[in-house]
Amino acid sequence: MKYFGLSDKGKVRKSNQDRFLITSSKDDFILLAAVCDGMGGASGGETASSIASSTAQSAFLDFCDNDGKNYGTFLTDAVSKANRSIFNMAVQNPSLEGMGTTFVGLVACNNTVTVANVGDSRAYYICEDEIRQITTDHSLVNELMQQGKLSPMDIISHPAKNVITRALGVEAAVQCDTYTQDVKNGDYILLCSDGLTETVTDPEIHFEVCNSDSIEDACRSLAAIANARGGCDNITIVICAF
């Protein structure tokens, strides 16, 4: 397994509120990767995404040390722990009121990947002839689309397209969705913040991942495309190659 991640401030934002995490167990048998997209002003967003990332990493080390096997439960518990930490910090620090972060993360072991998400940061499964979004966006426009009130084309220019319906730290508890994806040699899992998907299409993501010389090149090419189209948000990408 190979993996690479990067985070780019973009062309418009004054700071980067995204964070990403890639870490493995001591024997390199289990991999944890995550992307967090903070919100709530520069200091609040950076604080929330940093807490989520560091909490997940700490929980993962404890999980591995205790020979944990249930990866879905681990991810759900890590998200809940991070949520409480962010929420409590905001309660104790009025300047951080309203801060929060998305979370999309994976645990990979053997040929199985377990994915968890809160918010609109995404996980994609990519192979030679397919790209498929694993996660479901927790966003207002996605809910309206599921209700038949919006079409996919309507979302592109909708004024509320950045409104998310779930985030870590906003409330005392948060619901986390989990998914399981089987992988084989030659497959990829891509995690990203919406700074990528707002401007780069799924077919373009598929092309860059499958045709670049390396996953590092793919990450850099995708970030460059997003920046060339305005770079209106922070751009964070993690690719795991199997």
Q: How deeply is 26 buried, as exposed, middle or buried, from its count of CB atoms within 10 A (0-12, 13-18, 19+)?
A: exposed
Q: What are phi and psi of 165, to 5 degrees?
A: -105, -5
Mean predicted confidence (pLDDT) in 28-33? 95
- The pLDDT value recorded for residue 149 is 74
Least confident range of 146-150, 164-168, 172-176: 146-150
Please enumerate in sequence order all residues whose Cβ is within 8 A of that of 52, keeping only pairs 6 or more positions apart, or say none.
19, 34, 36, 79, 82, 86, 101, 103, 168, 169
Phi-psi region of 158 (alpha: psi -120 to 50; beta: other; left: phi over 0): beta
Between CA 72 and CA 31 the distance in angstroms is 13
**Domains in the chain and their CATH numbers?**
2-131+167-241 (3.60.40.10)
- Write the CB contacts of 230 (distance below 8 Å, at least 6 apart in sequence): 11, 12, 199
pLDDT of residue 139: 83
Residues 6+ apart with CB under 8 A from 201: none
pLDDT, tens digit (0-9, with 9 covering 90-100), for 171-186: 999 999 999 999 999 9
Size (the chain), residues: 242
Query: 157: pLDDT confidence band, cut at 50, 70 and 90?
Result: low
Q: How confident is the model at residue 42 (pLDDT cuts 50, 70, 90)?
A: low
Q: How many CB atoms lie within 10 A of CB 95?
A: 10
Q: List pLDDT tens digits, range 85-138.
A: 999 999 999 999 999 999 999 999 999 999 999 999 999 999 999 999 999 999
Model pLDDT, residue 160:
65
- Residues 206-229 have pLDDT tens digits of 999 999 999 999 999 999 999 999
C-alpha closest to that of 140 among 165, 117, 119: 165
